[in-house]
């Protein structure tokens, strides 16, 4: 399962869509090449979140994609998700590992901090995420990360990496060339009029990455 940590990493929109509509949109993304899905919902609607996460688990299982849950370790356990993604204010990685087990994928947001990635690797993170690499409509005030951070992490840690923040099909290949194993996108995918076609454009970043300038 952890060998699948490469490709388009699609993060769901943080708004209530309902299980059926959300699942349909995610399925379109998977059809276009998304390989990892992160369910991200910051609301307190426990029942809706559970229903939506269960629907996404069914879609991901059917198509061989990975399902990760943003922040919520209990929800990840409840739906049998493949893993969880943790930010600065979330449950510590070691506690999440105790709750979810050795086989669960645990990723950690490292923003623009190499030292945070070093600590995450030491604690057993399965991947680290850096960004924002470009201006992001989702998080306009996010700190900015440089391409050199990907290159250094690839050289010194060898841990799978997610690049996030303002990524487009036009700039994504350069990030992959610099070391990113996964490209995380939200609005550039799900705000598209044709989600499948948008996903296909991002998936091509991995095919052309060797031709991009570092």
pLDDT for residue 208? 56
So what's the pLDDT on residue 212?
A: 46
Residues 6+ apart with CB under 8 A from 211: 173
CATH class of 2-207: alpha beta
pLDDT for the residue 103: 95
pLDDT of residue 210: 45
The pLDDT value given to residue 3: 72
Cβ atoms of 61 and 95 closer than 8 Å: no
List the chain pLDDT tens, one digit each, 214 residues: 777 899 999 999 999 899 999 999 999 999 999 999 999 999 999 999 999 999 999 999 999 999 999 999 999 999 999 999 999 999 999 999 999 999 999 999 999 999 999 999 999 999 999 999 998 777 777 889 999 999 999 999 999 999 999 999 999 999 999 999 999 999 999 999 999 999 999 999 998 544 444 4
């Amino acid at each position: 399962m952890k060998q699948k940590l490469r490709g388009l990493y699609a993060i769901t929109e943080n708004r209530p869509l309902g299980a059926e509509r959300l699942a349909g949109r995610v399925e379109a993304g998977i059809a276009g090449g998304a390989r990892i899905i992160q369910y991200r919902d910051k609301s307190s609607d426990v029942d809706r979140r559970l229903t939506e996460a269960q629907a996404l688990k069914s879609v991901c299982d059917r198509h061989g994609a990975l399902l990760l849950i943003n922040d919520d370790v209990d929800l990840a356990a409840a739906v049998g998700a493949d893993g969880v993604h943790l930010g600065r204010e979330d449950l510590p990685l070691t506690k999440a590992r105790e709750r979810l087990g050795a086989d669960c994928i645990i990723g950690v947001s490292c923003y623009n901090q190499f030292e945070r990635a070093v600590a995450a690797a030491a604690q057993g993170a399965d991947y680290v995420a850096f960004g924002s690499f470009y201006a992001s409509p989702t998080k306009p005030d996010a700190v900015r990360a440089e391409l050199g951070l990907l290159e250094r992490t690839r050289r010194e840690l060898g841990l799978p990496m997610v690049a996030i923040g303002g990524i487009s099909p036009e700039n994504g290949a350069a990030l992959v060339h610099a070391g990113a194993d996964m490209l995380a996108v939200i609005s550039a995918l799900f705000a598209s009029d044709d989600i499948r076609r948008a996903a296909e454009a991002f998936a091509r970043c991995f095919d052309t990455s060797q031709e991009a300038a570092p």
